[in-house]
A and B are shown apart, each in its own frame.
Chain A
Amino acid sequence: MKLIVAIIRPEKLNDVLEALFRAEVRGLTISAAQGHGGETEQVETYRGMTVKMELAPKVRLDIGVSDHFVEPTVQAILEAARTGQVGDGKIFVLPVERVYRIRTGERDEAAVTPVA
């Protein structure tokens, strides 16, 4: 079991969700995030004040998968989230100690296997 954490561009979220759906990855959590990964800063002007936006809006996906699902998931995100510009984001693959499905109490592999 792995936890895949992906930080992506908000405007690529729909493409990524579609790619994950095609790869049959069904369980995921998304959240709004802010981050900075070396992309060019956006400059904004409010009356006499000019500011540089150091943090850009990002979307974070948390996906718990069984081992054989790691590669397809990572590939789907890599392809769908890429624009080639700095700021496309990161994918982290983390080991997971245990997983429980709250509804049934199932654990580990059974807990991350989609309900048929």
Chain B
Amino acid sequence: MSDGAIAWMLISTALVLLMTPALGFFYGGLVRSKNVLNTLMMSFGALPIVGLAWALIGYSLAFAPGLPVIGDLSFALLRGVDVAAQGQIPHVLFMSFQATFAIITAALISGALVERMRFGPYLVFLALWAVLIYAPIAHWVWGGGWLAKLGALDFAGGTVVHVNAGVAAAVGALVLGQRRDYGRQAILPHHIPFTLLGAALLWLGWFGFNAGSALAANESAALAFTNTMLAPMATALVWMLLDLVRTGKVTAVGVATAIVVGLVAITPAAGFVAPLSAIALGALAAFPSYFALVWRARTRLDDSLDVCAAHGVGGLTGAILTGVFAQESWNGITDGLLFGNPMQVVIQAVAVLAVAAYTAVGTFVILRAIAAVTALRVPDLAERLGLDVSEHGEQAYTSGEGAILLLPTARPAESGVRVEPKVKQVGGSA
């Protein structure tokens, strides 16, 4: 173990943990004001639910030795996860670092489910998805599973995190169905400054995500750090130009989106490509996601916050381009297409397809299984009123005018904020 590595990984773990609340603000700014708390809670809720599911069982399924497709239960309930060395850092720290990845990956899916999903079933979905979908895929690529043996390159999770979450999001949007106003009314972002702030905090956290994935304070971490800085800059610049050509103006939501797309695309490549290649990769990655996003808005697929266009398509582009730009003189492992190893692109494509297929089927099955027990969507009236009140009994922005203090003994249900049959009588005026 080395002090430097431990210090850097402690910081990286905290940085990646910050990305999930940051994602909440990124998403929260893009929804309508009546749903902002629910959208934030979809990210904040992932912290306890996925974090604990990971510690209790998910970590073992991902990183314990076992089959090529899944780990065994030898680390379940954190048995044997102690302060002894796992690489250059203590085992507990490695487990914590990986936990933050599981949390953000599951939270990413929420962007496709916002403004209509019941909070309880959503939390159940998160727990099941993290254990049954994320953990095995993490095992395939990072836990010594079959994709690792095949030689798939995924430095920090382009496939494991972003393709995985992007495809799961599209499936989630399909199973859940459109929001009632989708395609009928203009649904505008209510607080774009939140979205920009979220993008900034995501970028900050992503230095831990990518450079921390070196699992050491070394040359590889420095390369990943530099590439994590440069690639989104290139994506943002190209995105600005695309916006300018298409609409005549450079949009703020566009720049926030571009930063995330660039970060997603460089994630699998971060420690494998030269800095100049990272700039090229970032610039190229703008195109597929930009046009996927514009095209998606014309379809009936209500992937509300474009998780699939940003993370699925961005992750796919990044994974394939990793196979193109990888350079042994920088990473010490293998070359890509441009440096004489075209097979790497094929391996990358296999990894993406395998992950996409497994997560598509698995996500579908989990959501339908929950739907067989209870409703996934809020009632129509609750969707009109907003999920902040219907799911959480709170409003994000309230002046307090017209609020009458009930006696302390009065139960909240009597205040009439519950959107159950009782309130349906006044529904006509809502």
Q: Which residues of A contact B (CB under 8 A)?
A: 45-51
**Contact partners of B251 in chain A: CB under 8 A:** 45-47
- B237 in contact (CB, < 8 A): no
Inter-chain contact B294/A48, CB cutoff 8 Å: yes
Q: A48 and B296: CB pair below 8 A? A: yes
Contacts of A50 in B (CB 8 A): 247
CA distance A46 to B252 in the complex (A): 9
Considering the complex, give the chain B residue whose CB is closest to the CB of A51: B186
B293 located at the interface, meaning its Cβ lies under 8 Å from any Cβ of chain A in the complex: yes
| Contact partners of A51 in chain B: CB under 8 A | 186, 188
3 A-B pairs closest in CB distance = A48-B297, A48-B294, A51-B186
B188:A45 contact, CB within 8 angstroms: no
A47 touches B188 (CB 8 A): no
A47 touches B253 (CB 8 A): yes
CA separation between A47 and B292, bound complex, in Å?
A: 11
Are B186 and A49 neighbours in the complex by a CB distance under 8 Å?
yes
Closest to B306 in A: A47
Tell which of A45, A47, A49 touches B257, judged by Cβ atoms closer than 8 Å.
Answer: A47
A48–B298 contact, CB under 8 A?
yes
A45 pairs with B293, CB closer than 8 A: no
Please report the C-alpha to C-alpha distance between residue A46 and residue B294 in the assembled complex, in whole angstroms: 10
Tell me, rounded to whole Å, the shortest Cβ–Cβ distance linking A71 to chain B. 38
Interface residues of B in 271-316 (CB under 8 A from A): 293-298, 306
Taken together as a complex, chains A and B put the C-alpha atoms of A58 and B219 apart, in Å, by 58
| CA A50 to CA B186, docked complex, whole Å | 9
Which of A45, A47, A48, A51 has the most chain B CB within a 10 Å cutoff? A47
Closest to A45 in B: B247
Known: A45-B251, A48-B293, A51-B186. 16 other contacts (CB 8 A): A45-B243, A46-B251, A46-B253, A47-B253, A47-B254, A47-B293, A47-B306, A48-B294, A48-B295, A48-B296, A48-B297, A48-B298, A49-B186, A49-B297, A50-B247, A51-B188
B247-A46 in contact (CB<8A):
no
Q: Is B149 an interface residue (CB 8 A)?
A: no
Q: Which chain A positions have C-beta within 8 A of B246?
A: 45
Question: How distant is B196 from chain A, measured CB to nearest CB, in Å?
Answer: 13
Q: Which residues of B from 13 to 69 have beta carbons under 8 Å from A?
A: none
Q: Which residues in A have their C-beta under 8 angstroms from that of B298?
A: 48
B177: interface (CB < 8 Å):
no
Asked whether B189 is an interface residue with its Cβ less than 8 Å from the other chain, the reply is: yes
Question: Does any Cβ of A come within 8 Å of B392's Cβ?
Answer: no
Can you show 15 pairs from A to B with CB atoms below 8 A apart? A45-B247, A45-B249, A45-B251, A46-B188, A47-B251, A47-B253, A47-B293, A47-B297, A48-B293, A48-B295, A48-B297, A49-B186, A49-B187, A49-B297, A50-B247
Q: How far is the CA of A51 from the CA of B251 in the complex (A)?
A: 14
Q: Which chain A residue has the least Cβ–Cβ distance from B299? A: A48
Contact with A along B239-255 (1 / 0, CB 8 A): 00001001101010110
- Which B-chain residue is minimally distant from A48 (CB atoms)? B297
CA distance A45 to B254 in the complex (A): 9
Chain B residues with CB under 8 Å of A47's CB are 251, 253-254, 257, 293-294, 297, 306
Task: Give the Cβ gap from A86 to chain B, nearest Cβ, in Å.
Answer: 21
**Complex interface: chain B residues within 8 A of A48 (CB):** 293-298, 306
Minimum CB–CB distance from A87 to chain B (whole Å) comes to: 21
Q: Mark each residue of chain B from 321 to 347: 1 if its CB lies under 8 Å from any CB of chain A, else 0.
A: 000000000000000000000000000
